[in-house]
Structure 1
Amino acid sequence: MSSPQSRYSLDDLLAIMARLRDPAGGCPWDLEQSFATIAPHTIEEAYEVADAIAEGDMAHLCEELGDLLLQVVFHAQMAAEMGAFDFADVVQAIAAKMVKRHPHVFADASIDDADAQTAAWEAQKAAEREAAARAAGRVPSALDDVARGLPALIRAIKLQKRAARVGFDWSEAGEILAKIREELDEVEDALPRSPERVREEVGDLLFAVTNLARRLDVEPETALADANRKFERRFRHMEAALDAEGRAPQDADLADLDALWDAAKAAEAQAG
């Protein structure tokens, strides 16, 4: 392995991970882990990569990409210990997939533009999913392989896009708006009933709103993230105003809080 003064290589990283998982002298925490216990860390690291991109911080992005790579190496090491596959198999599989799905680059196929490439990519993935389903003795579904572990908002979009590709879709945004109003009415009707019914109707409402975002070419995860940041910014502005008066939010009534919120909005409008 390279010395601390030299640059580490991918082989060094693989060796470090193997050493950490070595029953004879490895790290107790690393040795206790499994695919299930590491999976949440993998998801968290992916989100931290996205945060670094949103911040535009290249040094932070470099660090977070390393953390994400470590997750891949960790999973591959555990699989190697089971005799299932190793990191080289992971590299082989993704490299082969990229070559296969880009015949316009690595073979003699012709693709006119990015939209045509996307359509060809999706068609090839659909064919692969159908072949896998048939091989397993299952009826193929347009919804196959939409990961259940995805955040619900992202999974909703993927399910809707898959359904839309086979023609199950609204023809215009106005129809989805009508559906949203219908679902909102159903939430209101459910309020006097059981909490389970309310939860179901709220879920339907969120699904319909997500569908509207998709139809309007708005990425709902990004839109909600922006709304979260806006809420946080305005709430902190409100807290700062109260702190300057020697108060905390819980010391103010709702009318005061609303007035401070409006002031925060006005300050943003003036600044922007």
Structure 2
Amino acid sequence: MSSNSKASPADITPLAAIMAKLRDPETGCPWDIQQDFASIAPYTIEEAYEVADAIERNDMPALCDELGDLLLQVVFHSRMAEQAGHFALQDVIDGVTEKMIRRHPHIFDEGSDRQHGHAQWEAIKAAERAAKEPDGSALAGVAKALPALLRAEKLQKRAARTGFDWPDTQGVIAKIEEELQEIHDARSSQEHHEEVGDLLFAVVNLARHLKVDAEAALRDANAKFETRFRSMENAAGDRFQTLKLEEKEALWQQAKQELASQ
């Protein structure tokens, strides 16, 4: 870690200057110059996931590196916006600074109630959304680009605030059973598509009621499957693909037991 990292306050201007040079129409990097918001957006999403991955692995050097990559995305978008005459990096910084102060009156306003800070945060967010959203729905503003599981959870939470929610998990479990039956009854690929989507939405609802992060739970399930599958492959070696399903199932059960005992 360089000594510059200990400077206070943090100085983002060198990074902004580098991006300005990269985006210079005359002397900049050809690749950087030709990018636009749409072409860079996938990289922004990817960097956010790489931050989450570093946190999941508790890898602090990697987290430092990935946060830098994510910060670069903010600077990149801000520079493109400035060149197009929309806003500059300082506007981004000023805007989020003002927003944090505005949404935390229980911290920055001495006369505010510190015990109900989260409720105040939600009320202020709702008021801000209502002020700028022509769409008056309780679901307005839930970004369509969010991962599907996360968006389902956010939609459900918004609906729940209006009182449209199951009172307990029993109703959700019954809904899951109903969706499973509808998948069984489906006759066309389009019906299967729709009913599987309904089932996934209902499972996210159950996770929400159980206070389980559906995205994190599925990510952990993916990791568990990958670990067990790789264990099967290692146990069978080159002959894995030629094994019968029953033999692979036996290896799967063996992998489950071995990994559970570790």
TM-score (norm 2): 0.94
Q: Which residue of 1 aligns with 2:107?
A: 105
Cα distance in 1, alignment partners of residues 188 and 246 from structure 2: 32
Aligned-partner Cα distance in 2 for 1:47–1:256: 36
* Whole-Å separation in 1 of the counterparts to 2:174 and 2:46: 36
CA deviation profile, 1:167-220 (whole Å, cap 9, x unmatched): 000011010000000001111111xx2211110110000000000000010010
Q: Shift of residue 120 of structure 1?
A: 1.4
Give structure 1 stretches of 5+ with no counterpart.
none
- Contact kept, 8 Å, 1:48 with 1:64, in 2: the verdict is yes
Match among 231, 245, 252 for residue 254 of structure 1 = 245
- Structure 1 residue 249: Cα displacement: 2.5
Q: Residue in 2 aligned with 1:93?
A: 95
In the other structure, the counterpart of 1:220 is: 214
Paired position in structure 2 for 1:266? 257
Answering whether residue 132 of structure 2 is matched by residue 129 of structure 1, we say no
- Asked if the contact 2:106/2:114 (under 8 Å) is kept, the reply is no
CA distance in 1, matches of 2:201, 2:183: 13
Q: Which of 81, 88, 97 pairs up with 1:79?
A: 81
Contact 1:52–1:60 (Cα < 8 Å) also in 2: yes
Give the length in aligned residue pairs.
256
Runs of 4+ in 1 over 3 A off after TM superposition: 5-9, 109-113
Aligned twin of 1:60 = 62
Q: Between the two proteins, what is the percent identity of the paired residues?
A: 57
Alignment partner, residue 34 of structure 1? 36
Is residue 195 of structure 1 aligned with residue 189 of structure 2? Answer: yes
SS at match of 1:140: coil
Inter-CA distance 16–6: structure 2 relative to 1 (3 Å threshold)? farther
1:212-268 deviation per Cα after TM superposition (whole angstroms, max 9, x unaligned): 00001001011101101110110011011011xxx3421111011000000011112
Deviations 1:73-118 (A, max 9, x none): 00000000011000000000000000001111111243344xx322
Alignment of 1:142-157 (within 5 A): 142-157=138-153
**1:18 corresponds to:** 20
Deviation at 1:7, TM superposition (A): 4.2
Give the Cα–Cα distance (whole angstroms) in 1 for the partners of residues 100 and 216 of structure 2: 27
Summarize deviations over 1:150-180 as a string: whole Å, max 9, x none. 0100000000000001100001101000000
Q: Which amino acid in 2 is paired with 1:238?
A: M
Cα distance in 2 for residues equivalent to 1:183 and 1:260: 32
Unaligned 5+ segments in structure 2 are 6-10
Helix, strand or coil at the partner of 2:233:
helix
Q: 1:182 aligns with which of 162, 178, 192?
A: 178
The one-letter code sitting in structure 2 at the alignment partner of 1:129 is R
* TM-score, normalised via structure 1 length: 0.91
RMSD: 1.4
Give the match for residue 8 of structure 2: none
Could you tell me how far apart the structure 2 residues matched to 1:163 and 1:227 are? 28
- Aligned mates of 1:17, 1:267 — CA distance in 2: 50
Separation (CA, whole Å) in 2 of partners of 1:107 and 1:177: 44
Q: Report SS of the residue matched to 2:141.
A: coil
* Aligned match of 1:209: 203
Instruction: Describe the SS at the equivalent of 2:113.
Output: coil
Q: Aligned AA for 1:24?
A: E
